[in-house]
Amino acid sequence: MSERALRGTRLGATSYETDRGIDLAPRQTVEYACRNGHRFEMPFSVEAEIPPEWECRSCGVTALLVNGEGPEEKTTKPARTHWDMLMERRTLEELEEVLAERLAVLRSGAMNIAVHPRDNRKSA
């Protein structure tokens, strides 16, 4: 009889074990809601730390915990601009001095500014 019980089934494809006689870990059900109006419940262990957000089962948008604290806001540093990096290296007085030197060089004509190569091709 036991030979016939396995006939016609793929061995290893299905489990013949049952949940009878097994004590599951204590669980709690937590409800989440997304901004598109979908609400769903997720089971967690009583000992587990409950995440404040979870991916919505229906639309994939981030859903927030119902009647819970929102996610912690992450502190982000503002983007550093070129001006910020320049001011880390020099003071305003130093920059004004460098600007005055460069303007004096340009006005004196000491800096030989060649005509751009593309401009030569146009005139030829």
Q: What is the pLDDT along the chain (124 residues), one digit of tens a residue?
A: 455 555 666 666 677 777 788 888 899 999 999 999 999 999 999 999 989 899 998 898 999 998 877 667 788 888 999 999 999 999 999 999 999 999 998 888 877 666 555 555 555 4
Q: Is 37 annotated as a binding residue?
A: no
| Number of residues that make up the chain | 124
What the block records as the tokens of 16 is 């013949």
Q: Is 42 annotated as a binding residue?
A: no
Q: Is 116 annotated as a binding residue?
A: no
Using a cut of 0.75, tell me whether the model's pTM lies above it. Answer: no
Question: Which residues face 43 on adjacent strands?
Answer: 29
What the block records as the tokens of 87 is 């001011």
Q: Is 76 annotated as a binding residue?
A: no
Dist. CA 7–CA 29, nearest whole Å? 41
What the block records as the tokens of 35 is 């901004």
Helical spans, DSSP H, in 1-124:
2-5, 82-89, 92-108, 117-123
